[in-house]
Amino acid sequence: MKTCAQKYLFVYLFVIATFFVAIQSVTAKTSQDLTFSSELTYTPTSSIFTLWAPTAEDVRLNLYLQGAGGTVFRTVPLLKKSDGFWKTEIDSDLLGKFYTFQIFYKGAWLKDTPGNFAKAVGVNGNRAAILDLNSSNPKDWEMDTRPPLAHFTDMVIYEMHHRDFSVAPNSGIYNKGKFLALTEHNTTNSNGQLTGIDHLKELGITHVHLLPSYDFGSIDETRLEDNKYNWGYDPKNYNVPEGSYSTNPYNPVSRILEFKKMVQALHQSGIRVILDVVYNHTMSMDDSNFSLTAPGYFYRFNPDGSYSNASGCMNETASEKDMMRRYMIESVLYWVKEYHIDGFRFDLMGIHDIETMNQIRKELDKVDPSLFMYGEGWTAGSSPLSEDLRAVKKNGLQMPRIALFSDDLRDAVKGSWSDHKAAGFVGGQSGLEESLKFGIAGATFHPQINYSKVNYSKAPYANNPDEVINYVSCHDDMCLNDKLKAASPNATEQDVQRQNKLAQTIVFTSQGVPFMLSGEELFRTKKGISNTYQSPDSINQLDWENKSVQADLYTYYSELIRLRKDHPAFRMDKAAEMQQHLKFLDTNDTCVVAFVLNGHANGDVWEDILVIHNGNNKKVEVTIPDGIWTSVVADGKIDTKGLVKYKGKKMVVAPVSSIVAFK
């Protein structure tokens, strides 16, 4: 028999449980029926302001004449609705004015906030701006269309930072470090070679991955003359372009119009645009727009009440909560519809839950199935969210058509990210052959791979090759050449170039989606610094003179990209097709991986394609299928018309190089 205390405890728990069910029901209904993106609805005759602040005791709207400075010229109370939203309507034309919300919570007015879904802001993003978004559209914006894309594996992604790409004095670009830099054509270095957007088109990439371009908090937009630098992984306003990349951060229209002009110019050049999004944390915590509207709701917390920190940035958001999930979905859809964005790279995607990522994929598919999604399948620290629910690599098979970065291939090729001196396959390190094969097979299942010997993953995490990103460098950690130099300190520049070419040949002949860091085609260096998120331009900028000095390397990159684009055998998008046509060869050599793509794979005009990668600092002889083979890649050179013919069952591969041949 229950004691009296037990009875009361039972009743208490029942009441609490009923309360939380009711809250969840209201929140779930709210997330379906009302949206964050309705925080401001403007017309010349009225403006409607809405804010989701379910725990607020009162909410007021403050109106300003300027985006910064000055004082409130009008305060308007908002009325509470039954669903946690607050609302007011002002029947006058407020065009050009600015506003903030304030909530009264636990007996005090919190700080001003532009709200969670501001679409335009003043300088430094502290106040939201009232404008007609149609006024921010460039000429013929309604005619802007995405360049065609048949399959995700047809992509070639080029990761770039706005400032790095254009700020160097020898870039030939006028709008250095700005969105508009990517609208300027016919820019050249001192030798007349193309730079900027024309360089991208000439190189042959299909997508630019823009490092964070929303309004972030680390740059003071009123002091741009200070030339402060940041990658932008410190979100402030998720749905407005960053002001420091515009020509006038004080004018709310400038950043929006210029961002759209950039997208339009890239589309007209046949290049799609991917946005790097950082929904996993915010720059500030108690003073973030999330905390100033719904304190405590949008984040995860430790049992002691402190912010959990899977991001490594002192906080992490809670995507599994209905309104955070709804927020992320609405935000990406807004960038697609308003700014014509073509894809998203999710920073520390492993912090988010699987269900949220799958819902985003579902919603993007409704707009255009060719919109791409990918992200980092890991966290930067522990999280209260169960690992079984996280969008991490080990759960990749549960996220169809969402790609994950292959750190397995990356570190197998160039050496561990955590040890600068550790050599990889291209540095002659043996024992990485199965990891290389895992990457070549697109992180999918292949019967010839021994998964117990793969460096990080002991099982496939991609259903099909279009769910993996193959790469050897990105903004994080050392750029490729700096890593190769650190791991081979006695190597000559020519030696490093050979390793560089071999590394990228592995990436671009692997099944999956190839990805490269901007400037690697120019033999980029960051002076050996691995974490350059606050380093000056002298460290981060691309040296465009290297397009002349390193002409051989640049040509190799562009021809490698052309080879991949011309031959669909390297771009299979179904695992079953790849298992049928991709056969690894037994080489009996360490630091050598060889395979054949046979039977006109994926409709290729070449019947069979042979690929051999030799990471040894010596030539090797490899037994190959009998026949007459014509090489198109050999000893660091590319010629798609043919280099050398081979006949017989043996082929000699030069040190630290690849052979690609066909018959």
Q: How many CB atoms lie within 10 A of CB 169?
A: 13
Segment (H or E) for 637: strand 637-638
Structure tokens, 55: 């725990």
Max CA pair span of the chain? 92
Q: Angle between the 551-566 and 196-203 helix axes, to the nearest 10 degrees?
A: 50
Q: How many CB atoms lie within 10 A of CB 453?
A: 14
Q: What three-state secondary structure class fits 464?
A: coil
Say how far residue 298 (Cα) sits from the centre of its chain.
22
Q: Check if the beta carbon of residue 507 is closer than 8 Å to that of residue 516.
A: yes
Q: Check if the beta carbon of residue 411 is closer than 8 Å to that of residue 417.
A: yes
Whole-angstrom Cα distance, residue 490 to residue 478? 18
pLDDT in tens, 511-554: 999 999 999 999 999 999 999 999 999 999 999 999 999 999 99
Say how far residue 409 (Cα) sits from the centre of its chain.
18
Residues acting as catalytic residues: 347, 376
Sign of the CA dihedral running 306, 86, 327, 241: negative
Residue 56, classified by CB atoms within 10 Å of its CB into exposed (0-12), middle (13-18) or buried (19+), is: buried
Closest CA to 97 of 63, 60, 71: 63
Query: Which pLDDT does position 35 carry in this prediction?
Result: 64
Segment (H or E) for 495: helix 493-508
Whole-angstrom Cα distance, residue 586 to residue 593? 8
Residues 6+ apart with CB under 8 A from 15: none
36-136: CATH topology:
Immunoglobulin-like (2.60.40)
Structure tokens, 562: 């052309």
Residue-wise DSSP of 117-174: S-SSB-GGGSSEE---GGGGPPTTGGG--PPP-S-GGG--EEEE-HHHHH-SGGG--S
Q: How many CB atoms lie within 10 A of CB 46?
A: 13
Query: Which pLDDT does position 82 carry in this prediction?
Result: 84
Q: How many CB atoms lie within 10 A of CB 503?
A: 29
Whole-angstrom Cα distance, residue 263 to residue 179? 9
Whole-angstrom Cα distance, residue 330 to residue 32? 11
Segment (H or E) for 365: helix 354-367
Whole-angstrom Cα distance, residue 26 to residue 354? 23
The beta-strand segments (E) located in 174-271 are 207-210, 214-216, 235-241
Closest CA to 621 of 597, 575, 596, 589: 589
Question: Mean pLDDT per segment of 10 residues, for the chain of length 663 residues?
Answer: 35 35 39 63 97 98 98 98 94 98 98 97 98 96 98 98 98 98 98 98 98 98 97 98 98 98 98 98 98 98 97 98 98 98 98 98 98 98 98 98 98 96 97 98 98 97 98 98 97 97 98 98 97 97 98 98 98 98 95 98 98 98 96 96 93 98 97
Say how far residue 433 (Cα) sits from the centre of its chain.
28
> Residue 380: how many CA atoms within 13 Å on its side-chain side?
13
Task: Report pTM.
Answer: 0.94
Whole-angstrom Cα distance, residue 316 to residue 383? 8
Whole-angstrom Cα distance, residue 62 to residue 76? 7
- Domain covering 582-662 in this structure, CATH number: 2.60.40.1180
Closest CA to 658 of 624, 623, 634: 634
Q: What three-state secondary structure class fits 333?
A: helix
Segment (H or E) for 625: none
pLDDT in tens, 467-496: 999 999 999 999 999 999 999 999 999 999
Name which CATH class applies to 152-571: alpha beta
Structure tokens, 295: 């304190």
Q: Check if the beta carbon of residue 101 is closer than 8 Å to that of residue 113.
A: yes
Segment (H or E) for 578: helix 575-581
